[in-house]
Structure 1
Amino acid sequence: MTRDDDLQRLLLAVHALTRIAALDTQSEAPAAQWRTLTLLRDHGPQRLGDLATLSRVTQPGMTRLVHQMDAAGLVARTAHPGDSRVSVVTATGAGLAALERWYEQFRGALAPHVADMSDDEWQAVSVAAAALSARVGLVPVGSHEVPAKKEKEAVR
């Protein structure tokens, strides 16, 4: 088995776990909502177009999603300080609290599916999660401070 095969197996397993947890939590909120809140939590306020790019969706799709999330009180839209035609999207306190509750439900849904893993398996998961998270720039769990540089870039 090659390294590429290992990465593909890992990716497919993560996707399968995500689907299982989504079904088990019976959450009716779209996955894109949680992804968007996570991006805003980890990268700070974003221009709408930049948020669409980060999330890898179209700008019209992100506009619709942000409109729904704004109506639900999960995000706030403000005018860009340098260009009032541009919207800047920020996660609200209610949005971040909802995100944390969803992550708790998600972890709870996954727990029974991995409860029988050995300590060695957990160690392998921990090492893989840390290594891959670092490579893709994910913020470590529990560390949600936005670096000043990223925050400045978000509203330029």
Structure 2
Amino acid sequence: MNSELSALLGDLVTVTHRLTRLAAQATGENTSPAAWRTLSVLTSAGPMRLGELAAASRVSQPTMTKIVRGLNELEWIKRIADSSDARAWQIAIAPKGQIALDDWRFRLGVALEPLFADLSSREVDVLAEATDLIGDRMGVQELAA
């Protein structure tokens, strides 16, 4: 195992969590982080049953039930019949939810832009490359899960 790489990845997780909290606070948004995480999971993984969604979001099933209830009231998710079990339902992101998530992500970027406004074009390229690299690795991980 490469301890230097492990330390770097640990630092990356820590700094990105701090960056996420800073951006969320700067937007003044009251929607819970768990709601945004749920919409993100549905966007990347597609429709899933409540228990699967709870596991993917790392919350209990009763907690996910509350999150889904709130998202349903906002019309940000929709329930669809599970094609593999006529008695079951899957949760999917609704068009209003996708719009809200896209807007939230944009506002996060706007909130953080002043912190990074003085980056050189090379540094912006490094961020873009790092984002692509991490996104590609996460895509590989999601496929393996």
Give me the whole-angstrom Cα distance separating, in 1, the residues matched to 2:108 and 2:6.
Answer: 28
Provide the aligned C-alpha RMSD in A.
Answer: 1.9
Give the number of the structure with larger relative contact order, counting CA–CA contacts within 8 Å between residues 6 or more apart. Answer: 1
Report Cα offsets for 1:14-42 as digits up to 9, x if no partner: 11111110110000000111111111122
Partner of 2:91: 89
Q: CA offset at residue 74 of structure 1?
A: 0.6
Q: Partner letter of residue 121 of structure 2?
A: D
SS at match of 1:46: coil
Partner of 1:124: 126
Unmatched runs of 5 consecutive residues or more in structure 1: 139-149, 151-156
* TM-score under structure 1 length normalisation: 0.80
Aligned sequence identity (%): 35
Give me the whole-angstrom Cα distance separating, in 1, the residues matched to 2:53 and 2:36.
Answer: 13
Give the helix-richer structure, 1 or 2. 2
For 1:51-130, what aligned pairs fall within 5 Å after superposition?
A: 51-130=53-132
2:34 to 18, 23, 32: 32
Unmatched runs of 5 consecutive residues or more in structure 2: none
* Off by >3 Å, runs of 4+ in structure 1: none
2:50 to 48, 51, 60: 48
Give me the whole-angstrom Cα distance separating, in 2, the residues matched to 1:117 and 1:8.
Answer: 24
Q: Partner letter of residue 62 of structure 1?
A: M
SS at match of 1:86: strand
Does the 8 Å CA contact 1:45/1:91 hold for their aligned counterparts? yes
| Count of residues paired in the alignment | 139
Q: CA offset at residue 129 of structure 1?
A: 1.6
* TM-score under structure 2 length normalisation: 0.86
Q: CA offset at residue 108 of structure 1?
A: 0.3
